[in-house]
Amino acid sequence: MLSPSDPLPLRPRRVIVAGTSGSGKSTFTRRLAAASGIPYQEIDALRHGPGWTPRPSFMEEVAAFTSRAEWATEWLYADARDLLASRAQLLVWLDYPRPLVMFRVLRRTVRRQVRREVLWNGNVEPPLRTAFTDADHIVRWAWRTHSTWSSLVEGAAARHPQLTIVRLRSPREAETWLSGAFAQAVR
Protein backbone atom coordinates (compact mmCIF):
# COMPACT_ATOMS: atom_id res chain seq x y z
CA MET A 1 0.00 0.00 0.00
CA LEU A 2 1.40 3.35 -1.05
CA SER A 3 1.47 6.54 0.96
CA PRO A 4 0.75 10.02 -0.45
CA SER A 5 4.41 10.67 -1.16
CA ASP A 6 5.20 7.36 -2.89
CA PRO A 7 5.51 7.58 -6.68
CA LEU A 8 2.99 5.61 -8.70
CA PRO A 9 4.50 2.69 -10.63
CA LEU A 10 2.27 3.37 -13.66
CA ARG A 11 0.17 5.98 -15.42
CA PRO A 12 -3.27 5.05 -14.08
CA ARG A 13 -6.02 4.76 -16.68
CA ARG A 14 -8.66 2.85 -14.69
CA VAL A 15 -9.22 4.15 -11.17
CA ILE A 16 -11.57 3.35 -8.29
CA VAL A 17 -11.91 5.51 -5.18
CA ALA A 18 -12.93 3.86 -1.91
CA GLY A 19 -14.16 5.33 1.35
CA THR A 20 -17.02 5.73 3.75
CA SER A 21 -20.15 7.58 2.69
CA GLY A 22 -19.39 11.24 3.23
CA SER A 23 -15.64 10.91 2.78
CA GLY A 24 -15.77 12.83 -0.48
CA LYS A 25 -15.30 9.99 -2.98
CA SER A 26 -17.33 11.58 -5.77
CA THR A 27 -15.77 15.01 -5.42
CA PHE A 28 -12.28 13.51 -5.24
CA THR A 29 -12.90 11.21 -8.22
CA ARG A 30 -14.21 14.11 -10.33
CA ARG A 31 -11.07 16.11 -9.50
CA LEU A 32 -8.80 13.15 -10.28
CA ALA A 33 -10.57 12.59 -13.60
CA ALA A 34 -10.41 16.26 -14.56
CA ALA A 35 -6.70 16.47 -13.68
CA SER A 36 -5.85 13.43 -15.80
CA GLY A 37 -8.35 13.57 -18.64
CA ILE A 38 -9.75 10.19 -17.61
CA PRO A 39 -13.54 9.96 -18.14
CA TYR A 40 -15.53 10.01 -14.89
CA GLN A 41 -18.53 7.75 -14.36
CA GLU A 42 -20.63 8.48 -11.30
CA ILE A 43 -21.64 5.04 -10.12
CA ASP A 44 -24.59 6.29 -8.03
CA ALA A 45 -26.21 7.59 -11.23
CA LEU A 46 -26.13 4.07 -12.67
CA ARG A 47 -27.31 2.39 -9.47
CA HIS A 48 -30.34 4.36 -8.31
CA GLY A 49 -33.67 4.25 -10.07
CA PRO A 50 -36.77 6.14 -8.97
CA GLY A 51 -37.60 5.62 -5.29
CA TRP A 52 -33.99 4.58 -4.61
CA THR A 53 -34.61 1.18 -6.22
CA PRO A 54 -31.60 -0.49 -7.85
CA ARG A 55 -31.78 -0.18 -11.63
CA PRO A 56 -31.99 -3.59 -13.36
CA SER A 57 -29.35 -2.54 -15.91
CA PHE A 58 -26.81 -1.54 -13.24
CA MET A 59 -24.35 -4.43 -13.60
CA GLU A 60 -24.57 -4.39 -17.41
CA GLU A 61 -23.74 -0.67 -17.41
CA VAL A 62 -20.84 -1.19 -14.98
CA ALA A 63 -19.50 -3.98 -17.20
CA ALA A 64 -19.82 -1.71 -20.25
CA PHE A 65 -17.99 1.32 -18.89
CA THR A 66 -15.27 -0.77 -17.21
CA SER A 67 -14.49 -2.48 -20.52
CA ARG A 68 -13.20 0.87 -21.83
CA ALA A 69 -9.51 1.76 -21.79
CA GLU A 70 -9.93 4.65 -19.33
CA TRP A 71 -12.39 5.46 -16.55
CA ALA A 72 -12.62 6.63 -12.95
CA THR A 73 -15.44 5.90 -10.52
CA GLU A 74 -16.29 5.31 -6.89
CA TRP A 75 -15.77 1.82 -5.46
CA LEU A 76 -19.28 1.13 -4.21
CA TYR A 77 -21.94 -1.57 -4.07
CA ALA A 78 -21.12 -5.10 -3.03
CA ASP A 79 -22.40 -6.57 -6.30
CA ALA A 80 -20.09 -4.36 -8.38
CA ARG A 81 -16.96 -4.12 -6.21
CA ASP A 82 -15.24 -7.26 -7.46
CA LEU A 83 -15.80 -6.41 -11.12
CA LEU A 84 -14.55 -2.86 -10.55
CA ALA A 85 -11.46 -4.06 -8.68
CA SER A 86 -10.68 -6.73 -11.28
CA ARG A 87 -10.63 -4.14 -14.07
CA ALA A 88 -9.00 -1.23 -12.22
CA GLN A 89 -5.30 -0.45 -12.05
CA LEU A 90 -5.43 1.93 -9.11
CA LEU A 91 -7.51 1.99 -5.94
CA VAL A 92 -7.35 5.21 -3.94
CA TRP A 93 -8.62 4.74 -0.37
CA LEU A 94 -9.88 7.85 1.41
CA ASP A 95 -9.35 6.52 4.92
CA TYR A 96 -10.43 9.62 6.82
CA PRO A 97 -11.15 9.76 10.57
CA ARG A 98 -14.71 8.97 11.61
CA PRO A 99 -15.39 12.44 13.15
CA LEU A 100 -14.45 14.15 9.88
CA VAL A 101 -16.57 11.78 7.80
CA MET A 102 -19.56 12.16 10.11
CA PHE A 103 -19.29 15.95 10.00
CA ARG A 104 -19.17 15.83 6.21
CA VAL A 105 -22.08 13.43 5.78
CA LEU A 106 -24.23 15.46 8.19
CA ARG A 107 -23.35 18.71 6.43
CA ARG A 108 -24.08 17.20 3.02
CA THR A 109 -27.40 15.74 4.16
CA VAL A 110 -28.55 19.04 5.66
CA ARG A 111 -27.39 20.97 2.59
CA ARG A 112 -29.29 18.64 0.27
CA GLN A 113 -32.40 18.99 2.41
CA VAL A 114 -32.26 22.78 2.65
CA ARG A 115 -31.61 23.16 -1.08
CA ARG A 116 -34.05 20.38 -1.95
CA GLU A 117 -31.41 18.89 -4.22
CA VAL A 118 -32.65 16.29 -6.64
CA LEU A 119 -30.17 13.47 -6.97
CA TRP A 120 -30.39 10.53 -9.38
CA ASN A 121 -33.63 9.78 -11.22
CA GLY A 122 -35.67 12.21 -9.15
CA ASN A 123 -34.53 10.93 -5.75
CA VAL A 124 -34.00 13.20 -2.77
CA GLU A 125 -32.39 12.28 0.52
CA PRO A 126 -34.91 11.63 3.28
CA PRO A 127 -35.15 14.18 6.10
CA LEU A 128 -32.39 14.07 8.70
CA ARG A 129 -34.94 13.17 11.39
CA THR A 130 -35.47 9.78 9.71
CA ALA A 131 -31.96 8.84 10.85
CA PHE A 132 -33.68 7.90 14.12
CA THR A 133 -36.12 5.51 12.44
CA ASP A 134 -34.34 4.21 9.34
CA ALA A 135 -31.39 1.91 10.02
CA ASP A 136 -30.10 2.52 6.50
CA HIS A 137 -30.30 6.32 6.60
CA ILE A 138 -27.07 7.64 5.07
CA VAL A 139 -25.87 9.10 8.39
CA ARG A 140 -26.34 5.80 10.23
CA TRP A 141 -24.91 3.91 7.25
CA ALA A 142 -21.76 6.04 7.32
CA TRP A 143 -21.31 5.43 11.04
CA ARG A 144 -21.92 1.68 10.78
CA THR A 145 -19.74 1.03 7.74
CA HIS A 146 -16.78 3.27 8.58
CA SER A 147 -14.78 0.45 10.15
CA THR A 148 -15.48 -2.06 7.34
CA TRP A 149 -13.33 -0.34 4.71
CA SER A 150 -10.05 -1.70 6.02
CA SER A 151 -11.12 -5.31 5.44
CA LEU A 152 -12.70 -4.45 2.07
CA VAL A 153 -9.50 -2.85 0.80
CA GLU A 154 -7.32 -5.64 2.21
CA GLY A 155 -9.58 -8.21 0.55
CA ALA A 156 -9.34 -6.42 -2.78
CA ALA A 157 -5.55 -6.31 -2.48
CA ALA A 158 -5.44 -10.06 -1.85
CA ARG A 159 -7.82 -10.97 -4.70
CA HIS A 160 -6.53 -8.44 -7.24
CA PRO A 161 -2.72 -8.25 -7.17
CA GLN A 162 -2.70 -5.95 -10.22
CA LEU A 163 -4.18 -3.16 -8.09
CA THR A 164 -1.91 -0.41 -6.92
CA ILE A 165 -3.43 0.90 -3.69
CA VAL A 166 -2.88 4.36 -2.26
CA ARG A 167 -4.11 5.11 1.26
CA LEU A 168 -4.90 8.73 2.06
CA ARG A 169 -5.69 9.46 5.71
CA SER A 170 -6.69 13.13 5.52
CA PRO A 171 -7.81 15.78 3.05
CA ARG A 172 -4.31 17.26 3.32
CA GLU A 173 -2.77 13.95 2.24
CA ALA A 174 -5.28 13.79 -0.63
CA GLU A 175 -4.22 17.24 -1.81
CA THR A 176 -0.54 16.31 -1.49
CA TRP A 177 -1.07 13.14 -3.51
CA LEU A 178 -3.19 14.78 -6.25
CA SER A 179 -0.69 17.58 -6.80
CA GLY A 180 2.38 15.37 -6.30
CA ALA A 181 2.55 11.64 -7.08
CA PHE A 182 -0.63 11.56 -9.14
CA ALA A 183 0.22 14.67 -11.14
CA GLN A 184 3.68 13.22 -11.90
CA ALA A 185 2.17 9.93 -13.07
CA VAL A 186 -0.36 11.46 -15.47
CA ARG A 187 1.94 13.98 -17.21
Q: In the prediction, which pLDDT does 131 show? A: 76
The per-residue DSSP string of 36-84 comes to HTPPB--HHHHHB-GGGPBPTTHHHHHHHHHTSS-EEEE---HHHHHHH
CATH architecture designation of domain 14-185 = 3-Layer(aba) Sandwich (3.40)
Q: In the prediction, which pLDDT does 185 show? A: 96
Alpha-carbon distance of 163 to 3, in angstroms, equals 14
Q: In the prediction, which pLDDT does 11 show? A: 96
pLDDT: which is higher, 138 or 7: 7
pLDDT band at 130 (very low <50, low <70, confident <90, very high): confident
- Sign for the CA dihedral angle at 156, 158, 160, 162 comes to positive
Domain boundaries, given as residue ranges, for the chain: 14-185
Query: pLDDT averaged over the chain?
Result: 94
Which residues does 53 contact at the CB level (< 8 Å), separation at least 6?
none
pLDDT tens per residue, range 71-125: 999 999 999 999 999 999 999 999 999 999 999 999 998 888 888 888 888 888 8
Q: In the prediction, which pLDDT does 124 show? A: 87
SS3 call for 170: coil
- pTM of the model as a whole: 0.93
Report, as an integer, the average pLDDT of 15-34: 96
